[in-house]
């Protein structure tokens, strides 16, 4: 009887672990599907040129350097990360208009719910007018409660597609972003 009880207890524990992992994965997928762009460009298919970047060691976002987004030799946008101060702000310049970009989001909301993840924007999240999906950008996700890194999502190189790469401690996984859109 004791062995049967322990077996049932072990199965219940396994089921609870699987449920919490599935719930975590579901919450994470929801957040990926609702990411908002920080920069909108008129077209995709651009090149990304990172000039003299410096990353903050603790957070992973750039604190110095510039990213240029170019197509056919023309600069579509630039993002200036500053002079090396470890702040979480950058300045985007698109068509002569400058705006601030927040590189760290500690308690963002999605679908009206408080996020379980702190997000560090390594490269700004970009959409183009001609594409339904994010075309470039890199986000590192950390659990808010523990501070542990969960995953990094790389949305691509500026090509209009729905492909992204999710990196976790278990490896890299290519997925289609459209599978998460509801």
Q: Give the mean pLDDT per block of 10 residues along the chain (182 residues).
A: 36 38 55 82 93 77 91 95 82 94 77 79 92 91 90 94 92 81 50
Find the DSSP H helices in the chain.
Answer: 2-33
Query: What's the confidence (pLDDT) of residue 46?
Result: 95
> pLDDT at position 24, please?
45
* Sign, Cα dihedral of 33, 156, 120, 19: positive
Residue 57 is predicted with a pLDDT of 60
3-state SS, 68-80, equals EEEECCEEEEEEE
Tokens linked to 103: 């590189």
Please report the pLDDT score of residue 93 as a whole number: 96
* 109-156 tens-digit pLDDT: 666 677 788 889 999 999 999 988 899 999 999 988 898 999 999 999
Domain ranges of the chain: 38-179
Of 124, 138, 127, the C-alpha closest to 160 is 127
Residue of 65, 70, 73, 111 lying closest to 91 (CA atoms): 65
Alpha helices by DSSP H, 34-170: none
The contacts of residue 113 (CB under 8 Å, 6+ apart) are none
């Amino acid at each position: 009887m004791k062995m049967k009880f322990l077996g049932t207890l072990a199965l219940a524990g396994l089921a609870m672990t699987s449920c919490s992992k599935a719930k975590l994965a579901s919450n994470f997928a929801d957040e990926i599907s609702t990411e908002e762009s920080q920069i909108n460009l008129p077209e995709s298919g651009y090149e990304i040129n990172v000039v003299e970047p410096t990353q903050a060691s603790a957070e992973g976002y750039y604190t110095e350097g510039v990213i240029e987004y170019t197509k056919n030799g023309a600069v579509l946008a630039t993002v200036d990360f500053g002079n090396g101060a470890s702040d979480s702000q950058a300045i985007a310049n698109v068509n002569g208009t400058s705006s601030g970009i927040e590189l760290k989001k500690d308690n963002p909301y999605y679908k009206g719910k408080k996020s379980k993840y702190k997000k560090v924007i390594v490269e700004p999240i970009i959409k183009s007018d001609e594409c339904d999906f994010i075309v470039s950008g890199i986000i590192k996700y950390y659990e808010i409660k523990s501070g542990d890194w969960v995953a990094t999502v790389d949305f691509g190189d500026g090509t209009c597609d729905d492909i992204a790469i999710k990196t976790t401690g278990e490896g890299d996984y290519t997925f289609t972003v459209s599978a998460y859109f509801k």
